[in-house]
Amino acid sequence: MGVRMRGFRAVAGLVLLGVLVSGCADDVEPRALPSASSQAASPPVSPSATTSTAREIAERDALASYRGLMQAWVDAAKVANPDHPALRRYAQGEALKIFVTALFGNQLHKKVVLGEMGTDPKVVGAVPIDGPTSVKIADCLDDTRWLEHKKSGGLWDNKPGGRRHTTALVTKTKAGWKVTDIVMQEYGSC
Amino acid sequence: MLTYWARRAIAFGLAGTVLVPGVPAYAGGGNVPLPRPPCTPRTCEVGVELPGVPGSGGPGTGDGNGGSSSEPSPCTYEMVSPTEGTVGGVGGQPDGPGAWYWKVCSANGVSTSELVRLPSPPVVTPEQLAQRARERITLPSVQVRVNPAGTTLVNLPTWLAMTGGWDPQSATASVPGLSATVTARPTRAVWTVGDGSTVTCTGPGTLYQPGVHHPRAESRTCGYTYRRSSAGMPGEAFRVSVTVSWQVAWSGGGQNGTFDGMTTSGFTLLRVEESQTVIR
């Protein structure tokens, strides 16, 4: 039961992210999530200079939190530490659960991830327009040079890694901007 | 004040999305989950379940059935001890008794992992799985072969042996990701020869072979020499019975142990006569 609900949530979540990008209001039909390239266009610029600044600040801060989370993930995965403090600084809710779970699995299996992860995040949406509290970020995570290793040494397997289209929602909280949701697609999706 | 996003989320009954590796870009058509390509273990280890995958936890899949069903559980559960920080990271610890488990489900070559809190082990531990395997073990029946057969003499060595009752038996039971093997090995045979004596042997005994063994030789492995006849016994014969004890050991999931032993038995009737009546 829970699985199907989660599936619904996941798919609906993608729809919602699409809605967020489009900036449309209510009664939006479910629609295709725009491709990364079409999302890459800058959001509409508000005519007001002050709101534009607020928007720029929000996007900058959201992007910084996203980057911070990716760095925290790399740092935590290097030592398979699900309790890495920086994860909590930059993520909460479902997103934090995803990373903590993954890292706990690595810790359990004595698996570490070494190398450099490729990341190139871009803001692809922000609402409300004149003072965003939710920012959507698209990325193409590349782990071809960030590979799983046995803690005791040596590669975990012979899987080459790859590039995954990734979408994250960053939300303004009392404790700053935090990644609250993240969806990674299959290898080769970007 | 709720943001537009939050309002939409509540309208959908959503608190957020989950990471679903391998989810294709949404292609319209309402809320119908789309077919998903298999994800690699690497992606699947990011703590999610795949929607729409049969056996990954939906109703009627036998998820966590603990082994009473004939359907194998698609999930395995390993009891783990996450730190307080990790527990907080996955949403905190619910009230009430329970333990944390690392739940791994496999279906159609797709594996997903999750840290879950459960009130009791819902599942097959290696020992429980081994118990299931133990139930499948059938020990071979004992065919008693004593020599001389039917009638023997006082003071003449009797060879005690069996056929077919001394072969180790094993059985394996599995669920995805875990299997346990049980092996039963015979350890000793206790012969009750009928005159009040018992003989304990550590093997099945040696079958007497005419022309190979001398008729008056003792069995080197398992034998008995009667000192009195079976006259006066029911049917004028001793009831010669043997009970074989089996040690039952299991291994699985990196653990091992033993179960209660098992026994098999068999018997035959043996008439023992005074040798002097024959010699005379």
C-beta of residue B48 within 8 angstroms of C-beta of residue B114: yes
A17 C-beta neighbours (distance < 10 Å), count: 26
Q: Which of A1, A5, A9 to mutate to test the interface with B (most CBs of B within 10 A)?
A: A9
Q: What are residue A91's DSSP bridge partners?
A: A179
Residue A160: which domain range? 43-187
- Is pLDDT at B73 greater than 70 in this prediction? no
**In the prediction, which pLDDT does B250 show?**
96
User: Would you call A30 and B28 a contact, using CB atoms and an 8 Å cutoff?
Assistant: yes
Q: Is residue A33 part of a domain?
A: no
B211 C-beta neighbours (distance < 10 Å), count: 5
- Which residues from A are below 8 Å from B28, CB to CB? 30-32
Q: What percent of chain B has pLDDT over 90?
A: 45
Would you call B115 an interface residue with chain A, using a CB distance cutoff of 8 Å?
yes
Read off the pLDDT of residues A72-91 as tens digits, 9 standing for 90 and up.
Answer: 999 999 999 999 999 999 99
Closest CA to B203 of B214, B195, B191, B212: B191
Q: Return the H-helix or E-strand segment holding A165.
A: strand A163-173
- Amino acid (one-letter) located at A124: V
Shortest CA distance from B92: residue in chain A: A97
- Is pLDDT at B3 greater than 60 in this prediction? no
Domains defined for chain B, CATH in brackets: 4-123 (no CATH), 136-279 (2.60.40.10)
**In the prediction, which pLDDT does A151 show?**
92
- For residue B84, give how far its alpha carbon lies from the nearest alpha carbon of chain A (Å): 9
User: Would you call B16 and A93 a contact, using CB atoms and an 8 Å cutoff?
Assistant: yes
Return d(Cα B220, Cα B207) in angstroms, integer. Answer: 11
Contacts with B168 (C-beta within 8 Å, 6 or more apart), sequence order: B183, B184, B185, B186
- pTM of the shown model: 0.48
User: Would you call A101 and B115 a contact, using CB atoms and an 8 Å cutoff?
Assistant: yes
SS3 at position B265? strand
User: Which of A3, A12, A133 has the CB atom closest to B56's CB atom?
Assistant: A3
**In the prediction, which pLDDT does A49 show?**
53
**In the prediction, which pLDDT does B44 show?**
29
Tokens of residue A74, six digits: 């790399």
Tokens of residue B141, six digits: 């029946």
Return d(Cα A178, Cα A170) in angstroms, integer. Answer: 5
What does chain A come to in residues? 190
Q: What are residue B162's DSSP bridge partners?
A: B144
Range with top average pLDDT, A171-175, A185-189, B138-142: A171-175
User: pLDDT-based confidence at A21, cuts 50/70/90?
Assistant: very low
User: Would you call B86 and A14 a contact, using CB atoms and an 8 Å cutoff?
Assistant: no
Q: Is residue A49 part of a domain?
A: yes
User: pLDDT-based confidence at B40, cuts 50/70/90?
Assistant: very low
ipTM attached to this prediction = 0.72
Return d(Cα B215, Cα A97) in angstroms, integer. Answer: 79
SS3 at position A28? coil
Would you call B2 an interface residue with chain A, using a CB distance cutoff of 8 Å?
no
Q: Is residue A131 part of a domain?
A: yes
- Is pLDDT at B70 greater than 80 in this prediction? no
Q: Is residue A122 part of a domain?
A: yes
Q: Is residue A102 part of a domain?
A: yes
Read off the pLDDT of residues B91-121 as tens digits, 9 standing for 90 and up.
Answer: 999 888 888 988 877 666 567 889 999 876 5
Query: What's the rounded mean pLDDT across residues A40-67?
Result: 74
Q: Is residue A151 part of a domain?
A: yes
User: Would you call A93 and B37 a contact, using CB atoms and an 8 Å cutoff?
Assistant: no
- Which residues from A are below 8 Å from B8, CB to CB? 16, 19
C-beta of residue A12 within 8 angstroms of C-beta of residue B5: no
C-beta of residue A161 within 8 angstroms of C-beta of residue A143: yes
Shortest CA distance from B6: residue in chain A: A134
Q: What are residue A147's DSSP bridge partners?
A: A114
Q: What are residue B240's DSSP bridge partners?
A: B268
Q: What burial class does residue B165 get, using C-beta atoms within 10 Å of its C-beta: 0-12 exposed, 13-18 middle, 19+ buried?
A: buried
Residue B35 vs residue B1, higher pLDDT? B1
- Amino acid (one-letter) located at B228: R
Number of domains observed in the structure of chain A: 1
Read off the pLDDT of residues A132-149 as tens digits, 9 standing for 90 and up.
Answer: 999 999 999 999 999 999
Read off the pLDDT of residues B134-185 as tens digits, 9 standing for 90 and up.
Answer: 877 888 889 999 999 999 999 999 999 999 889 999 998 877 677 899 999 9
Tokens of residue A94, six digits: 């479902």
Calculate the average pLDDT of chain B: 72
Tokens of residue B120, six digits: 């009791």
User: Would you call A4 and B51 a contact, using CB atoms and an 8 Å cutoff?
Assistant: yes
Residue A97 belongs to domain with CATH number: 3.10.450.240
C-beta of residue A62 within 8 angstroms of C-beta of residue A137: yes
Q: Scan residues 9-48 of B and list those with Cβ closer than 8 Å to A.
A: 9, 12, 14-31, 33-34, 37, 39-40, 42-43, 45-48
Q: Residue B153 — φ and ψ, nearest 5°?
A: -120, 150
C-beta of residue A165 within 8 angstroms of C-beta of residue A77: no
Closest CA to B254 of B126, B143, B94: B126
C-beta of residue B11 within 8 angstroms of C-beta of residue A176: no
